[in-house]
Amino acid sequence: MTKSTKVILLVLFVLILDQSLKIWVKLSFPLRYEQLLFGLEWARLRFEENPGMAFGWQLPEPYGKLLLSLFRIFAVSLLIYFIRQLIQAKAKTGLLLSFALILAGALGNIIDSAFYGMIFSGSFHGVATLFPESGGYASFLHGQVVDMLYFPMFEGYFPEWFPFWGGEYFRFFRPVFNIADAAITIGVLSIILFHRSFFNESEEKGQKEDAAKMTQEKIPDQEYQDTSQHSSEEE
């Protein structure tokens, strides 16, 4: 199996898993619905929608959502090009799969933003419907990203002596996310933890190319000086 095939299969697997879970949640529960996973208090399914980035972060309206969607599409285009370059450069499979996870996660959330507002009704007043007669709840590129994974592992209060947040309530892990967010996070962490040599190799390659370029630029100057010196000697 070629490296390209492995990348494509991983992207498709993550996308199918991500979209299947999102569509099931969207068509099964009202907004803010919550239930335990496997009977565990710290692992829950909580249906949330957000117009922003991973883990619920967002840009201010009125143009924040549109700008974010356009940026995602631009970033994904660059990432696809970059992965193709890595494949041609015979990069390691682990590095390629890490970038494939990031690509799959970005594509998963782009699908929500681009199409969910057009094909689903809103979820705020009840369970959404697919292809409602009255039309979707938002236009192209203005859909909400569906989140559902919630892991409030522990909660409590910071001690009074704790800087900035002393005495304040906290809950870890507070953000609600989805499989696409998880894929992006795993891909980034994998690159940082297991493929740091890639960045070192790229830097060394760049330095060698710069050195070779400087050497090539010096050769004509040296040839000119040698020619001038030879002409002076003949005179």
Which 3-state string (H, E, C) describes 61-73?
Answer: CCCHHHHHHHHHH
d(CA 207, CA 124): 55
State the pLDDT confidence band at 217, using cuts at 50, 70 and 90. low
Could you read off the pLDDT of 118-167 as tens digits, one per residue? 999 999 889 999 999 999 999 998 899 999 999 999 888 989 898 888 88
Is residue 233's pLDDT more than 90?
A: no
Q: Which residues pair with 169 in a beta bridge?
A: 157
Active-site entry in 18, 112, 147, 226: 147
Q: Which tokens hold the place of 95? A: 């590095």
Q: Is 39 left (phi over 0), alpha (psi -120 to 50) or beta?
A: left
Known catalytic residue at 147: yes
Top pLDDT among 66 and 159 is at 159
d(CA 209, CA 155): 53
Could you read off the pLDDT of 166-213 as tens digits, one per residue? 889 988 888 999 999 999 999 999 999 998 887 776 656 655 555 566
In this structure, what are the phi and psi dihedrals at residue 2, rounded to the nearest 5 degrees?
Answer: -75, 165
d(CA 198, CA 181): 24
Known catalytic residue at 181: yes
- pLDDT of the residue at 37: 93
pTM for this predicted structure = 0.80
- pLDDT of the residue at 162: 87
Is residue 67's pLDDT more than 90?
A: no
Q: Which tokens hold the place of 6? A: 């492995």
Q: Which tokens hold the place of 89? A: 């450069």
Give 60-66 contacts, CB < 8 A, sequence gap 24+.
Answer: 65/113, 65/141, 65/142, 66/141, 66/142
Is the separation of the CB atoms in 48 and 147 below 8 Å? yes
Active-site entry in 181, 210, 221, 226: 181
- pLDDT of the residue at 170: 86
